[in-house]
Structure 1
Amino acid sequence: MKIMEKIFGKWYQNSFVKLVVEIVFIVLPIAFAIRTFIFGLYQVPSESMETTFLVGERFFADKLSYWFRKPKRGEIISLNDPVYPYSNNPVKRLYEKYLSPNISSWTKRVIAIPGDHIKGTIEDGHPVIYLNSQRLDETAYVNKYPIIMTYIKPITLSAGVHTQVINHQFKSYDPTLPWDKQIFYKIDPDKIVIDIRTNKPIIRMPNTPNEKAKDIFEYKLGENQYFVRGDNRRGSYDSSDWGPLNGELIHGRIVFRIWSMDTDEPWLILDLLKNPIDFWKKIRWSRCLQWIK
């Protein structure tokens, strides 16, 4: 504290000034260092990792381990947005990686690591992956449930003849259960998107090819390259779309689920204020406080 006394002189004798100085120059830097290099707290913003993770869940990430070792196959990682156009300026790039509010954190599973040969193809009508010439068994984590399109806000065009859906989600559901008894999300039947050509809900079935050729790929991973995918293969934007991940963008390993709640709100207090009664019904108690395998 003698350094602070030399810098701020007699002002440092004032208790309020002393408190502010210590918060700004001691507490906040320590908190930033811990948050950046040791552990992180995150929330699930999308359906790409269902049903391993569900929208509305909060989890803990270990950032310290990857300073001493590389990510392994099968681990679930937190990473910076891989499609963002990062600057070549080292100072600006450092800011983008650790401080920029414009860059989101994503969560994916590591399928292949540097040096691996990975190939995706379609066999007997089902997408499969070969890792180093061996067919990969992913039954332990890939989403086994169908996903159904629901909307938050629709917009009708052409005098009601055609409907374009905006701000939509594909939610996993159990077809053996009624809508009000679903185990993952509460699904409002009135918000299920209907395909006007078939007059049926828009549903994507598990273990079936995507509409685009994203299930067909082949890469020989180079140094510090990883192939990552979401467990919800019918609703994930991942390496099958944008290619291998630069290991520089990996910043944590997801290890613990703290909280699980059926909500799209980024702040739980907002949901509590909006829904003081239903708030407690939205909590998925059986999924809280769990280690992630």
Structure 2
Amino acid sequence: MEENNEKNENEEVYQGVGGFFLEIVKIFILAVVVIVPIRVFLFQPFFVQGASMEPNFQDGEYLIVNELGYKETDLKILKIDSFREMKRGDVIVFRYPKDPSQFFIKRVIGLSGERIKVENGSVYIFNRDHSEGFKLEEEYLPEGLITKGNSDYEIKEDEYFVMGDNRGHSSDSRNWGPIKTTNVVGKVLLRAWPINKFDIFRD
């Protein structure tokens, strides 16, 4: 009789442990089913490497990129629109035109169909609304910072002119020209690390 009781207790313990691990497996499968599509198709992590976006983005920071930002879809997650036009000032991650295996982070300066001119430390934009051009005011840059270089570009359709915020230490469109829309991965949505600098980047 005692042996039967011990056997029943052992079976209950076994079933309890087995049930616990079964729940763990269920949770893991659910996480894979839910998180992986979000990770692969909606949001991408990105580690900042180098000083080209200082002081606004530092080396080693961990960012989340919204891949839906410039793609046409009906999805809307966390009140984030799934399709919008790229705007001047957007911080984006894209594939380096000369080596698509590399990912860069820069700021959008010139839009499709515009002419952009870098001269005397400043950036000038020419477009339909400003045929004579206007000097670009960049409040996100440190006061007194100048844009090095002397270039004049006509930006074609489906192209964008990008620059790093650290204008004196950035390889960007001033060096290798505008980027294609097809190179764009997405818009920087938030800074997740370090925790004390956590920030969500709205329009």
For the criterion TM > 0.5, the same-fold answer is: yes
1:144–1:43 Cα change, 3 Å: farther
1:70 to partner: Cα distance = 2.9
The answer on 1:136 being equivalent to 2:70 is no
Instruction: Tell me, yes or no, if the aligned pair for 2:147 and 2:167 is still in contact at 8 Å.
Output: no
1:74–1:208 Cα change, 3 Å: closer
The answer on 1:79 being equivalent to 2:94 is yes
The answer on 1:62 being equivalent to 2:61 is no
Q: What SS does structure 2 have at the residue aligned with 1:66?
A: coil
The answer on 1:40 being equivalent to 2:44 is yes
> Quick one: distance in 1 between partners of 2:157 and 2:34?
33
TM-score (normalizing by structure 1): 0.50
> Quick one: distance in 1 between partners of 2:185 and 2:65?
9
> Quick one: distance in 1 between partners of 2:95 and 2:33?
21
1:37–1:70 Cα change, 3 Å: farther
Pairing 1:167-206 to 2, within 5 Å after superposition: 206=145
- Please, which of 224, 229, 247 is the counterpart of residue 181 of structure 2? 247
Unaligned runs of 5+ in 2: 1-20, 72-82, 127-132
Instruction: Tell me, yes or no, if the aligned pair for 1:143 and 1:233 is still in contact at 8 Å.
Output: no
- 1:97-124 per-position Cα deviation (integer Å, ceiling 9, x unaligned): xxxxxx22211000011111111112xx
TM-score (normalizing by structure 2): 0.70
> Quick one: distance in 2 between partners of 1:113 and 1:228?
9
Amino acid at match of 1:34: I
Tell me which residue corresponds to 2:79.
none
- 1:36-76 per-position Cα deviation (integer Å, ceiling 9, x unaligned): 33111111111000001011211121111211233111100
Q: What SS does structure 2 have at the residue aligned with 1:54?
A: coil
Pairing 1:255-274 to 2, within 5 Å after superposition: 255-260=189-194
Computing the radius of gyration from Cα coordinates, the structure with the larger value is 2
User: Which of structures 1 and 2 has the larger relative contact order (alpha carbons within 8 angstroms, sep 6+)?
Assistant: 1
Identity of aligned residues (%): 32
> Quick one: distance in 2 between partners of 1:118 and 1:245?
14
Unaligned runs of 5+ in 1: 1-14, 87-102, 146-205, 210-214, 261-282
Runs of 4+ in structure 1 over 4 Å off: 26-32
